[in-house]
Structure 1
């Protein structure tokens, strides 16, 4: 792999981060394990992945470096617009009282 110092720092930071997506942290761990010379069997056992996962992300990393570790699937759009859902929730809470007998809604309900 021949990681640069900056790449190694960013990958280590990703593995330690509590706010990064779990999939991104898993890919970062994979690249670091490959750089350290761990066997494919050890990686498969430790990360709970298969050989296709290893080959896909290692080849993307070799081709594009850190930029290749980001998933290309942008996700899906919401089923209904967020404004419509927010309006529905607000309408429900303003027109109805809680069923437990309390006088107002709180964030705990």
Structure 2
């Protein structure tokens, strides 16, 4: 095994179900669904290089989302707030439209 050692990624049953649901739902943002697929593939025991080849991504992308999941669990897969002006329209108004 080459490279830095990775912390083991073990999913609870509820996390597995939640990630699987994110990959299956039609309304899930595709970026979030991809992140869930990355974590599920890593949880199967595959290394970052194998997951990257399987999902046609870079190893850096797989490493980023794997480490974020290990650190923050499912909440780590969500988009971080971006700098700039605060939103003027909240999610309830967006859903209404």
TM-score by length of 2: 0.71
**Within 2, Cα distance between the matches of 1:52 and 1:39?**
12
Q: Which one of 45, 48, 54 corresponds to residue 46 of structure 1?
A: 54
Query: More relative contact order in 1 or in 2 (CA 8 Å, sep 6+)?
Result: 2
- The structure number with the bigger radius of gyration is 1
Residue 32 of structure 1: which of 30, 36, 40 is its match? Answer: 40
Alignment of 1:52-67 (within 5 A): 52-67=60-75
Q: 1:75 to 1:25 in 2, by over 3 A?
A: farther
TM-score (norm 1): 0.63
Which runs of 4 or more aligned residues in structure 1 lie more than 4 Å from their structure 2 counterparts after TM superposition?
Answer: 73-77
Going from structure 1 to structure 2, the CA distance change for 1:43 and 1:4 (only over 3 Å counts) comes to same
Q: Distance in 1 between matches of 2:68 and 2:30?
A: 18
The equivalences for 1:60-99 within 5 A come to 60-74=68-82
CA 1:17–1:38 in 2, change beyond 3 Å: closer, same or farther?
A: same
How many residues were matched structurally?
79
